[in-house]
Amino acid sequence: MASTPKKKMKPGTVVMYVVLYTALIFCALVTLVPFAYLFCASLKPSAIFFDNLFLPTGDGLFGIGWEKMNFDHYKRLFSEEGFLRPILNSTFYASVTGVLATLFAATSGYALAKFQFRGRDGITKLVLAALVVPGALLFAPVYQMLYWFGMLDSYTGLIIPALAPAFGVYLFRQATVNSVPNEMLESARIDGCGEIMIFFTFVLPLIRPMMGAFLLLTFLGCWNNFIGAQIVLQTPEKMPLAVAINQLRGVYGTDYGLIMAGTVVSIVPVLALFLLLQKEFLSGLTAGAVKG
């Protein structure tokens, strides 16, 4: 056996490795076990729900009673509870708000970073001040205004007030300052490029990472938004997932299997979306804090 010279680890280093990985793996388990618990719960029939903690015991592989589990809760969710509707509602609401809010934030952030105009400093200060205004302060007056405009119980009333993303404007201002060179804008203008054209063909590609991160952030916020829909919407069929699942629990109180199936259906799409885009998302998330 060809022996390659191997560095011998000092005993102190070994102990450190063990402590380090034990701590990390412990934390990872604490994070992951509730997900597993949730998923197992959604597969157990109500009659035997509390007989076992995770999966029902039995004679099957690994001593688990596989035959006792089924997807009945999921079937019921869609056939009897009409859960497809809230999924579509949430998808519509989160996509439209995400795209429009990102576009509005990007154009404003770009204007604040690269143009000199009257009101620029005022807008910048207002944007920063808005970051510490608690959203709850706006519930009552916005409800009153939506009543005046006749926009209660509609998605217009839910989406439009969400299109003033102060935090987004701040993030895009930073991103534009950091990654869009002035020379490029100037030469594009000399070549006779229109301003709108410049934004879409030259600026957007450069701030794409921030676009991705903010789009995902807004999408998530809407997908998970409960109070906004609870206040603005009234018709049960219009409700997004977060409200629909709470109503489901209101009706079926302790039918945990059904409620957990609904929860799985609600969180799996966003987890999947995040796995696809996680790299852009995490770097965008911290960009504002670390550089700003």
Partner 1 sequence: MNSGYPKWAPYVLVAPFVTVFAVFMAYPMLYSAVMAMQQTYGAKASQFVFLQNFEYLLSDPFFWKAVRNTFVFAAGSVLIQLPLSLGLAMLLNQPQVRGRVIFRLIFFSPALVGTVFIAMMFGLMFNKQGLVNFTLHGLFSGFDPVYPWLEQFVMGSLIIASLWQYVGFNMIYFLAALQNVSRDLSEAAMVDGAGPFARFRNVTIPAIRPVASFVVLLSLIGSFQLFELAWVLLNNSGGPNDQGLTVVMYLYQNGFISFDLGYASAIGWALAILLMGFALVQHRVSTIGEN
Which residues contact residue 32 at a Cβ distance below 8 angstroms, ignoring those fewer than 6 apart?
Answer: none
In terms of CB distance, is 64 or 270 closer to partner 1?
A: 270
In terms of CB distance, is 2 or 196 closer to partner 1?
A: 196
Cβ of residue 282: shortest distance to partner 1, in angstroms? 6
Total Cβ atoms within 10 A of residue 174: 19
Cβ of residue 250: shortest distance to partner 1, in angstroms? 7
In terms of CB distance, is 174 or 266 closer to partner 1?
A: 266
Buried-exposed string 60-78: b where 16+ CB fall within 10 A, e elsewhere: eeeebbeebbeebbbebbe
In terms of CB distance, is 67 or 187 closer to partner 1?
A: 187
Rounded to an integer, what distance in angstroms lies between the CA atom of residue 170 and that of residue 192? 30
Q: What is the DSSP string of 31-69?
A: HHHHHHHHHHHHHS-GGGTTTSSSS-B-SSGGGB-GGG-
Cβ of residue 128: shortest distance to partner 1, in angstroms? 12
Rounded to an integer, what distance in angstroms lies between the CA atom of residue 216 and that of residue 222? 10
Strand partners, 64: 57
Helix (H, G, I), strand (E, B) or coil at 118: coil
Both structure tokens of 68: 């006792």
Both structure tokens of 66: 């596989």
Cβ of residue 131: shortest distance to partner 1, in angstroms? 8
Both structure tokens of 197: 């054209």
Both structure tokens of 99: 């795209």
Give the residue among 157, 175, 153, 155 at the shortest CA–CA distance from 102.
175
Cβ of residue 280: shortest distance to partner 1, in angstroms? 13
Cβ of residue 62: shortest distance to partner 1, in angstroms? 19
Cβ of residue 2: shortest distance to partner 1, in angstroms? 25
* CA geometry: angle 262, 268, 269, nearest 5 deg: 110
In terms of CB distance, is 3 or 12 closer to partner 1?
A: 12
In terms of CB distance, is 3 or 25 closer to partner 1?
A: 25
In terms of CB distance, is 4 or 118 closer to partner 1?
A: 118
